[in-house]
Amino acid sequence: MSPDFLLLFADRAGVFVFAISGGIVAVRKQMDLFGVIVMAFLPAIGGGTLRDLILSQPVFWLEDTQILGLAVAGGLAAFFFHRWLENFRPLRWADAFGMALFAVTGAAKATALGFGLPVVLIMGTMTASAGGLLRDVVANEEPLLLKKDIYATAALLGSAVYFVICMWGGDEALAFALGLAAAFVLRALAIIFHLSLPRSPF
Amino acid sequence: MSPDFLLLFADRAGVFVFAISGGIVAVRKQMDLFGVIVMAFLPAIGGGTLRDLILSQPVFWLEDTQILGLAVAGGLAAFFFHRWLENFRPLRWADAFGMALFAVTGAAKATALGFGLPVVLIMGTMTASAGGLLRDVVANEEPLLLKKDIYATAALLGSAVYFVICMWGGDEALAFALGLAAAFVLRALAIIFHLSLPRSPF
Amino acid sequence: MSPDFLLLFADRAGVFVFAISGGIVAVRKQMDLFGVIVMAFLPAIGGGTLRDLILSQPVFWLEDTQILGLAVAGGLAAFFFHRWLENFRPLRWADAFGMALFAVTGAAKATALGFGLPVVLIMGTMTASAGGLLRDVVANEEPLLLKKDIYATAALLGSAVYFVICMWGGDEALAFALGLAAAFVLRALAIIFHLSLPRSPF
């Protein structure tokens, strides 16, 4: 398998896993089938859509509708198998991988357009986590993303690593791999050791 | 009256009725006059605005400000007459008609831009129902749209009917009329027989 | 100091103060450091971002990343000094000034693009208040903006004053100054005399 194929496969897997996360929240909130599908779309394509709108780029899924099919599939998976999926440990790791991948993808898109570090950090983090935030806001839940867990911070780190390696003249593929690894490892450490960012102690 | 005039009139009526739905939620939430107007705008123009942003089209109300006046009028109607309007049965049917009309309008816009079925379905459904979703999210309410009732599903059906007839070489006006009818009839059946989509039984 | 420099300074101060308002809500909601920064961004750049997206303009902070630094600084200020800032009276006035400034800036952008009064009013009001609305929606709070206080109404007034003076052939700087003054004075009166818009009495 070529690296390009692997990457494409990983990207699609990320969409599917993120969609499941939305569908599970929807089932827990007792939404109907349509609500489950909508809630699957939010984390799967919400962050990338916002990124593309702000960067004045064509929204990525308009020309790549396979993405939409995978989002629907993730929603259906949650609808039918949520009980089993909620306690399915590997899903957490797939989600961490999806987050890392989305972050580096977003950072790469902004870097390719010539933006500097601040915008690259925002776009990487937004691609990885704005969809999950939208999911929680629409479900009328406290956005967990903003309250606990090192999640978006890992996306931030991955974006930064990608950008710095690119700026230092490193190979783009290397930057991609190391950014992805950095985000994933930090997220993994946070899961294993229950790491959290501090709250205001004042 | 020419069909074009009828369509224009129906479109404006749809905006007005959707605006009332937002205003009524606002009054119920004890919002002030400004809040009622803002909440009237969300269902009236929110879905179409999101559609135009994602399709990289000029936002429809920028050049057609009559729409904005009708949204304000719908908000004021809710502010002054909400007690009467809340129990006004025909409003339900006007809302169903507005939904059907918005769905087909959104589907037609995406079809005219050359998109395939998946994007057309999303755009039709989004035009008809994203504004109502926004309304509920901003009002900090559980989004009913995602929990019960066949509403967005009717918009989905109308968009599909429109697209399929266009693809089969049918007249655009015929596609519009049949799509509209399909969405409206399904919604009407849902109202009369209290049809709902299933929730996850698992 | 030239007027341009003053204006630039005031604009940056507005972003900083708005960011503090978001950070304070986040700390109160027990969000972590990342959540505080995200919540600082929403009021600081949310309204202007939405305005630029709808007007099909490049989003203002993509090319002016100092803005982003100030939003982060406002978030950090809230994180470390929220206890002190929450009861810091002058902040209220700085916020009122920021609102007035954002309103006139938004109105000026829409006017310069050739739009008429309805769109100018929406863009001025949106620039000044949509970010605060987003902040409350994401924090899962009842949006105060829509419930009490004359806040967005002051932004509406400032936008209207700006537009009318421009249309009457007045100097742009004069329109800016008087629009700013009108929005600020109305907001100040609302703070001092606890003015509110009416709710529906029906």
List beta partners, residue C199: B32
Which range marks the domain in which residue B165 is found? 3-193
Q: Which amino acid makes up residue B47?
A: G
Nearest to B35 among C119, C137, C146 (CB): C146
**Backbone CA torsion sign across B29, B80, B99, B40:** negative
Residue C198 within a domain: no
- For range B173-181, the mean pLDDT: 95
Which residues, at least 6 apart from C158, have a Cβ–Cβ distance to it below 8 Å?
A: C100, C103, C104, C107, C124, C128, C179, C180, C182, C183, C184, C186
DSSP B61: G
- Tell me the CA distances in angstroms from A71 to A60, A65, A152, B60, C132, one per residue in order: 14, 10, 21, 28, 31
A81/B116 Cβ within 8 A: no
Nearest CA in chain C to A50: C53
Residue A50 within a domain: yes
- Which range among A42-51, B40-49, C28-37 shows the weakest confidence by mean pLDDT? C28-37
Comparing CA positions, the residue from B184, B5, B32, B190 lying closest to residue B101 is B184
Chain centroid to CA B6 = 18
Q: What's the pLDDT score for residue A183?
A: 97
H helical segments located in B29-65: 33-54
| Chain B neighbors of A65, CB-CB under 8 A | 116, 118-119
Tens of pLDDT along A66-102? 999 999 999 999 999 988 888 877 888 988 999 999 9
Phi/psi at C32 (5° precision): -85, 180
Residue B93 within a domain: yes
List the structure tokens of C133.
Answer: 């609305």
Give the span between the Cα atoms of A78 and A156, in whole angstroms. 28
Comparing CA positions, the residue from C161, C158, C145 lying closest to residue C197 is C145
Touching A: C residues 156-185, CB under 8 Å: none
What residue has token string 């950014």? A179
List the structure tokens of C127.
Answer: 């620039």
Residue C1 has pLDDT above 60, yes or no: no
Residue A105 within a domain: yes
Mean pLDDT rounded to a whole number for chain B: 91
Nearest to C31 among A55, A140, A147 (CB): A147
Residue A201 within a domain: no
Touching B: A residues 39-58, CB under 8 Å: 39, 49, 53, 58
* Burial class of residue B188 in the structure, from the number of CB atoms within 10 Å of its CB (0-12 exposed, 13-18 middle, 19+ buried): middle
Q: Which amino acid makes up residue A166?
A: C
Nearest CA in chain A to C27: A200
Phi/psi at B69 (5° precision): -60, -40
Give the span between the Cα atoms of B69 and C70, in whole angstroms. 37
Residue C200 within a domain: no
Residues in chain A: 202
B198 touches chain A (CB under 8 A): yes
Q: What's the pLDDT score for residue B1?
A: 43
A49/B153 Cβ within 8 A: no
Residue B201 within a domain: no
ipTM over 0.90: yes
Residue A48 within a domain: yes
For chain B, what is the domain count?
Answer: 1
Comparing CA positions, the residue from B138, B131, B129, B130 lying closest to residue B187 is B129
List beta partners, residue A32: B199
Residue A1 has pLDDT above 80, yes or no: no
Residue B82 has pLDDT above 80, yes or no: yes
